[in-house]
Amino acid sequence: MRIAVFVENRNGVNLASEIMRARKAETHSFHLVTADRDGHVAEWIEQEAAARFDGLAVRNLFAVDEALSNEEFLEELGRRIRGFAEEEGIDRLVFFNDQSQRGRRVAQALRRSVPLILVQDGHLDFHFKKTDTGLRDQNWYYGSSSLAAVCVWGPATAHHLMFRTADANPPVHITGALSHSDDPALLRAARSTTHRHAKRPGDALRIVILDQPLSDQRKLSKGDHRTQLTELCAALAEFGEVEIKPHPSTLEGHLTWLRTLPDVTVLEETALLDAEALDGYDLAITFFSTTYLQTLRAGTPLILFSPPPLNIVFPTINHPLLRNVGTVGELVDVVADLQRSGKFVANAHGEPVEHFITFNDDVAEDVMRHIAEASVPVERPAGERPETPAAGTAALPRAERALRAVQQRQRRPRSLAVLGLGFSYVTGVAIPVLTYTQALLAQSPVDVRYFDLGVYTRAEDVLADLEGAEVVLINSLAPFWRSPLANDLVEALHAVGRSVVLYAHETEYVMNFEGGQHALRHAEMLKVLPKMKVLCVSTAQADMFRQLGVNDPVVVYNTVPRDTHRDRARRTPGAEPRIVMVGSMQDRKGLDLFSRVAELAHAQGLPWRFAWIGHKTWRIGASTLLSDRVEWMGALSRDRVREELAASDVFFLSSVDDPMPLSVVEAVQQRLRTVTYHRVGSREVLEGVPGYRSFAEYTPEAAFEALRGVLAEEVSEEEYQDVEELFDIPAFTARMTAALGLPGPGEDGRPAVAVDSALSEDDNEGAEDGLLADSDAAGSDSGSARRFAAVLSRHGRYLAEDFTRHFKAGKHDEALRVGTEILRRRQPVDVLIGMAEIRARRGNVKDACQLLSAAAIAGGDRARVWSEIARVAGLLGARGRAIRQLARKESIRIELGNRSARLLKSD
């Protein structure tokens, strides 16, 4: 097969080399082709090809400096690419952008004659502040060129392509990212919950701005781009050393202008800032770029800056190294926090990295397979209606067809909000819901948002963020015990008719423990439980909730992600059988039992080896035995855990209580013999399966006998496979989707209007009345607090300092933003008066009066407070006269009273 790869930049050459290294790729012949009349791009591409290939030439369809206008060049490109394909007998063409000027011409010229395979080469985002005609970025239309196949990084991109493209049924395949998805360092960084701190608090920072050719790409005007960079560099100068790294494709005019910026070092545009180079910076800043993958590898915090004039918005990703901001003021506040505390304040909410990039070991092979299988799409005959029934539908009985017609017209919920206390792959409680939503995004038109309830201080703020969500899924009972808002929130959502679903992971042991620790909140939770649909991970758990008053709990079980390492354990135990446990070191997980079984095996002279994988916690009793016969391995990465399971003979879950442990599912996937206590949920699905044993009495002797028995029998491949399929992602996704009442795969086409309340142009219409109303805080682009659900994550100790800095600098929009955040937590007098003054100067009399009223009843130096109220009231015109008179009288009265008190005291 003769495969052409159309490349427009160096990265395209790199991706072509990745594809050509795939297994079985050597059976095909590859041809690199580009189109450049200026010569610079072709020169870069040829240099990259020479470094990566041995003798593979790059065919430029144009001679350098051909006398062609831009329109003539694009017209000629279509003709020449067709001629090239015919001349070389090309069977397939791979390219990386079908919406660039060149890519679009290539697609138009070849789509009816050669199968076109589009491979994602960078992070694609489809969120916009405004979606009026002509305002969408070209990425909105990515993949809409009647392609034979589109290979994308992850489920989020697949979601956008399948439900927002003009094509009726785009052939989208989630393959992962070439050169990224198979990188263990990136996988570790994506799933990490910790990061290195900056220098000591107070030290100067080293900051790099990763600039992009936004004006060349027509994402910003040249004036707006330079204005934002000028303001940004000036604001950052006080925090340390600032460097700018221009994009390699930046034009000379912009490079010359960058060098005029004061107090800034401009780096060479051709220099490569990889993870190793980025590691030397305390902070990186960019607009909209795939560079976040390199900053994650480097462990360097990154701010994604979407200034008001920039229409395209990078998605909010929930990771401790990423932060989205919408104004220079917000950005400076985050940088100030980093310098003052040495800690980076990341996004509090957002989607996990793995919604955007799927991690696989065989990305190139997968892409190569889709290239080989691709065929030119068949066009619908003229006059055929797009709603023609699919093959086989017309043969159904009329009654069945009528029922399907009605079902297809039913409106299913389009949006899902997931609430929890953190979303990471480190804790087992978040893994099933994260894995589910990834699969949901890849096959259903549902809009998914995540919200960490732990960062809110008021239920009103949560309700505002949940305004556009039709279904609210609360992940686990932990928020009801840890957050003071959860119970009231459920009551409020229930009152407005919102569907609230609880996905429970806790069992009776945890319920009793937490009920004792948080008695009042636990009692309130028991009252709201019947108002929610409850999803359970086992039938025993469902029985427990029925006894608590829940009507018809649904058993959905759970699932685990597809890890890169899932090697099978050996079928026959070795001479020294290895017995392993995976779980945090705490009494509930059976530390004492595991240790005593290890001692018992040693006392009987058995060559059994015991190992425990998991971090140590404070929940270990003084009498708990930690045996020297056990290898305490500590916390390991998921890949290492998989490797250790494959190197073991028995998975011994010693927990006294676990609803449906994910570690048992992973052991089943790797065909590892398994032993658990009788009351653990795994027994429901594994009882009677060869290779599994449970012990009814929670004693070392009973557990020891179960281990001895399971080591003597073979694992049943057929029955283990049956259990694995129960927990497999597609089966779990189908159960969860049905339980939540969401559209499943193939149902209901695409939404007419995508739900995106966080980016709505109408965010200001629902602004709260009273002190927190902030409809004009940022002019026409207010609502950045709603656009990026991260404003509530900042620590309160520095907020007053930030308010003062913005107020004194005359940046009143930023002062109002910080002041609003302060008032969510408390109501200091100086902030109230400062915000009232800003409102008064803007002619917003109603809000100014409300703020002054709040200041009048707050604490502080009363005489000074009334004096300040009188001063601000003077700005309110006729309505402020009465307030001013009252305030002056109160100020004089209090001052006289204070003097009298001092005189009496002196007597």
Inform me whether the pLDDT recorded for 863 exceeds 90: no
Q: What is the 3-state secondary structure (H, E, C) of 406-444?
A: HHHHCCCCCEEEEEECCCCCCCCCCHHHHHHHHHHHHHC
Inform me whether the pLDDT recorded for 158 exceeds 50: yes
CB atoms within 10 A of CB 95: 25
| Of the listed ranges 574-578, 616-620, 695-699, 887-891, the one predicted with least confidence | 887-891
Q: Which strands sit side by side in the sheet containing 322-325, from one edge to the other?
A: 265-266, 240-245, 205-210, 283-286, 302-305, 322-325
Cβ contacts of 300 within 8 Å, gap of 6 or more? 278, 279, 281, 282, 283, 284, 321
Binning pLDDT at 50, 70 and 90, where does residue 144 land?
confident
How many CA atoms, within 13 angstroms, populate the side-chain half-sphere of residue 143? Answer: 27
Write the burial class of residue 746 (CB in 10 Å: 0-12 exposed, 13-18 middle, 19+ buried): exposed
pTM beyond 0.95, yes or no: no
Torsions phi, psi of 447, nearest 5? -90, 125
One DSSP character per residue, 308-341 reads: TT--EE---B--TTEEEESSHHHHHHHHHHHHHH
Average pLDDT over residues 816-845: 80
Tens digit of each residue's pLDDT (9 = 90 or more) over 619-676? 899 999 999 999 999 988 777 888 999 999 999 999 988 888 889 999 999 999 999 9
Distance CA 230, CA 239 (A): 15
Q: Evaluate whether 559 touches 724 at the Cβ level (below 8 Å).
A: no
DSSP 531: G
Among candidate residues 158, 186, 190, 162, the one with its CA nearest the CA of residue 174 = 158
Q: What is the pLDDT of residue 648?
A: 96
Q: Tokens in use for 203?
A: 């030290």
Q: What is the pLDDT of residue 193?
A: 72
How many residues does the structure list for the chain?
A: 907
Tens digit of each residue's pLDDT (9 = 90 or more) over 393-429? 456 777 877 777 676 656 678 889 999 987 877 667 8
Q: Tokens in use for 796?
A: 């309160």
Tens digit of each residue's pLDDT (9 = 90 or more) over 663-714? 999 999 999 999 999 989 899 999 999 999 999 999 999 999 999 999 999 9
Q: What is the pLDDT of residue 906?
A: 56
Distance CA 638, CA 424 (A): 12
Q: Evaluate whether 613 touches 644 at the Cβ level (below 8 Å).
A: yes
Average pLDDT, the chain: 84
Q: What is the pLDDT of residue 436?
A: 92
Average pLDDT over residues 6-15: 92
Largest CA distance in the chain: 110
Binning pLDDT at 50, 70 and 90, where does residue 904 land?
low
Distance CA 282, CA 794 (A): 19
Q: What is the pLDDT of residue 747?
A: 60
Residue bearing tokens 């930690």: 626
Cβ contacts of 67 within 8 Å, gap of 6 or more? none
H or E element at residue 173: strand 172-174
Distance CA 485, CA 501 (A): 16
